[in-house]
Amino acid sequence: MSQSLEFGDGSSTGNDSVFGAPSHWVRSKNGIGVKATYNRGRAQRDVEDSFFSVVWQIKIERDQAKNPKWARTINLQVESPRHPAAPKAKGKGNSFLNDLKRQVVKALLTSEIGSLLQERGYRYDDSNGRIISGDEEKMKGRITITPLKVLLNESQVASKPEETIKAVHEAVGSSVEAVLQKFTEDLNNCFVAKVEGHPKPVKVIRRQTKPEGLSVRDNTLEYSSKKTRYEAMVTMTPQELFEQCCSEIKSAYDQLGHKFGWRFLTCQSSAFVTHPKVALITLQPGGRRDYFPELPRESQERGSAYLIESWDGVPAGTAPLQQQVRGFFGALAQRIGAPSGDKLLTESLSSHFIPFRAPKIALLPNKRASLDFSESLWSSSDRPICIRSFLAYFARESTTVAEYY
C-alpha cells in the first residue's frame, strides 16, 4: 500500500525505539500526526488525556541495533489514555478513547492481517494480544496494547528500522487501514479539528461563476492543437455546461477509438453545478470492460460512488480504493472541521481527469490525444470549476489502477 509514513523515536530504560505510521493513524487534540502527538516516544503532556494512535514500532537495545530480540520484531501498537477507573490513572484518563482502543484491538485480532502476513512471507505472534484482550481490567490500565508482533528473519531486516517498518506496512498496512475505517466516525467526533493547530491549513477552493450564466467556448473537437479546440463562444447555465461536457466526452470517446467505456462524475451532478468545498479528481476509471449500465457514466445521482457502490463483489463502500478515499476524507474532515469524512465526501465533487476507462494509463488508446482532450475539458478558464487534485494520495501512472473507480 503506497502511503507515506511519519516517524518518531523514543527511549526508556535499556532500549530505544523507532515508530512510524500514516499521519491519520495518530490523533490528538493538537492535531493529526506523530509530531503533533508525541515527544520522544511518549504522548506530549498536554495531550495525555486526549490522544489515540496505531503505530508500527521497533525496539532497539542500546548499542545492539542488530540484536535479534529487538531489531527483528515489529510491534503493532494501539495507544490511548488509561481508563479513569484504572488505579494508575488516579482519576485521570479518557474512558471513551480507552473503550475505543479495546474495540480496535479486538477488531485487529479478528481481521485478515495474520493470514496476509503469512501470504507475504512473514511470521507473526498474536498470543499476547489475545490474552490481554480478554482481560478488561488490564486493557483499562494500560496506555499501550500490542495485539500483534511481526517476527522477521535476517533477510527481512533492512539497514535502517524505518525501512524495515516501511516494508511491513507496504505488505499489510491496507488491512490495518480497513480495520481503522470502521472507527473513523468515532475518532472524528472525538477529535474536533482546530484549524489554528495545523501548520498547513486547508484553503477552500470555490468555483468562479456568474449567476446570469457562463461564457463557454464551442466544443468543436480538434486534437492536433490545444489552441484550436475552441473557436466560438456560447453562454450556458451550469446545468447546460454539465450536459455539454457529457456530450463532448461521448463524441471524443468515439473519435479517439476507446472501447472500455467512460465515466465522468462519481458524485451527483448537483456537485458540478453548485459550489462544493472540495474537488477530488483521480487519474482515470480503471477496468477491462465497459461497466455501463451497472455503473452510470455521466454521474452517480444516488450519492458518492465511493460510499454507495459495490465494487468487486464486496459490500458498498468497502473495496480497497473506496476505503482509501474514505480514509483520506476522514483525515481531511478533521483538518478543516467538517462533521465527518463520509458527509464531506457526499458533498464534494468527485470525477476523473481522464474520463475514458482503461486497465491502466499505459494501455489508454490514443493516449496523447486523450490527455489533450482531458486537459482542455478541465482547464478552460471559462468553465465554472477550480480543481484541487489529491491524485498523488492513491494513484500512480506506473501502476495498474483499480478494477473500478
Do 120 and 254 belong together in one domain? Answer: no
Do 230 and 178 belong together in one domain? Answer: no
Residue 404 lies in a domain: no
Give residue 325's pLDDT. 93
Residue 54 lies in a domain: yes
Residue 298 lies in a domain: yes
Residue 221 lies in a domain: yes
Give residue 235's pLDDT. 52
Residue 205 lies in a domain: no
Residue 181 lies in a domain: yes
Residue 230 lies in a domain: yes
Give residue 159's pLDDT. 83
Do 317 and 375 belong together in one domain? Answer: yes
**Number of folded domains that form the chain:** 2
Q: Could you tell me the three cell numbers for 137?
A: 481490567
Do 113 and 45 belong together in one domain? Answer: yes
Do 240 and 364 belong together in one domain? Answer: yes
Do 82 and 113 belong together in one domain? Answer: yes
Do 266 and 146 belong together in one domain? Answer: no
Give residue 36's pLDDT. 85
Residue 209 lies in a domain: no
Do 256 and 111 belong together in one domain? Answer: no
> Rounded distance, CA 263 to CA 64, Å?
55
Q: Provide the domain limits for residue 355.
A: 214-393
Do 48 and 152 belong together in one domain? Answer: yes
pLDDT in tens, the chain (405 residues): 446 899 998 876 556 889 999 988 999 888 888 888 887 667 877 777 889 999 999 987 655 544 545 568 999 999 999 998 888 888 788 888 999 999 999 999 999 999 999 999 999 999 999 998 888 888 899 999 999 999 998 889 888 899 999 999 999 999 999 999 888 888 877 775 433 333 333 333 333 333 344 333 333 333 333 333 333 334 567 777 788 889 999 999 999 999 999 999 999 988 876 666 788 889 999 988 888 888 999 999 999 999 999 998 899 999 999 999 999 999 988 888 888 999 999 989 999 999 999 998 889 999 889 988 888 887 653 443 333 333 333 333 333 333 333
Give residue 171's pLDDT. 92
